[in-house]
Amino acid sequence: MERPQPDSMPQDLSEALKEATKEVHTQAENAEFMRNFQKGQVTREGFKLVMASLYHIYKALEEEIERNKENPVYAPLYFPEELHRRAALEQDLTFWYGPGWQEAIPYTQATRRYVQRLQEVGRRQPELLVAHAYTRYLGDLSGGQVLKKIAQKALDLPTSGEGLAFFTFPNIDSATKFKQLYRSRMNSLEMTPEVKGRIIEEVFNSTVALVSNVVNNKLH
């Protein structure tokens, strides 16, 4: 797969990141697990594995965001009430694994590698957190509601939304408007062309890693 070339990318950071991940998103949509998921062919065990993996990822991401919430390279994108997913995932894992979920959930090698990268970025190159927040949160806002409905039906879950808190953003009235705000904040970040290039590369690599995480966890 060809890496994006920053020189040929759109000037706005949000557009550049969208362009950089277009091909990888197509691959993700065509991965076996996602194809099966969209057809409603998902098992409870497979879904539980996904939720466990997401918990480890968001726990690490949000710890690093908290560490850097006042750093000007990230601060304009700090929306904990609207976006952060850790508390929702804790609710979901209690539903799926029971009260002792913290000892019960798996932690695969693929997920561990992704978490280590998040920790490294948060401590040493916090400007690259923008790439990870963009990949995760805007992706969740874009596709979350569709995936929630599919999972609800396929797994015969209660219509009250139990087990699926991750997909719900109660503090965001309009996903479309919020994404516009988020992108405008991204585009207002001050950075050199060199930093922009590294963010574009990180968003490409992080999206590839997420696809790999799904495939390597064999969630089907």
Contact present, 77 and 130 (Cβ < 8 Å): yes
Residue 132, marked binder: no
Residue 220, marked binder: no
Residue 183, marked binder: yes
Residue 18, marked binder: yes
Q: How far apart are CA 61 and CA 55, in angstroms?
A: 10
Q: Of 118, 146, 96, whose CA–CA distance to 202 is shortest? A: 118
> How far out from the chain centre does Cα 111 lie?
12
Contact present, 118 and 57 (Cβ < 8 Å): yes
- Two tokens, residue 4: 């994006």
Q: Of 217, 209, 191, whose CA–CA distance to 6 is shortest? A: 191
Q: How far apart are CA 85 and CA 168, in angstroms?
A: 9
Q: How far apart are CA 126 and CA 122, in angstroms?
A: 5
Tell me which DSSP letter residue 136 carries. I
- What secondary structure does DSSP assign to 158-184, as a single string? -TT-TT-GGG--TT-S-HHHHHHHHHH
Q: Of 136, 117, 110, 135, whose CA–CA distance to 64 is shortest? A: 117
Q: How far apart are CA 210 and CA 204, in angstroms?
A: 10
Q: Which residues are annotated as part of the binding site?
A: 18, 25, 134, 183
Annotated binding site for heme b: 18, 25, 134, 183
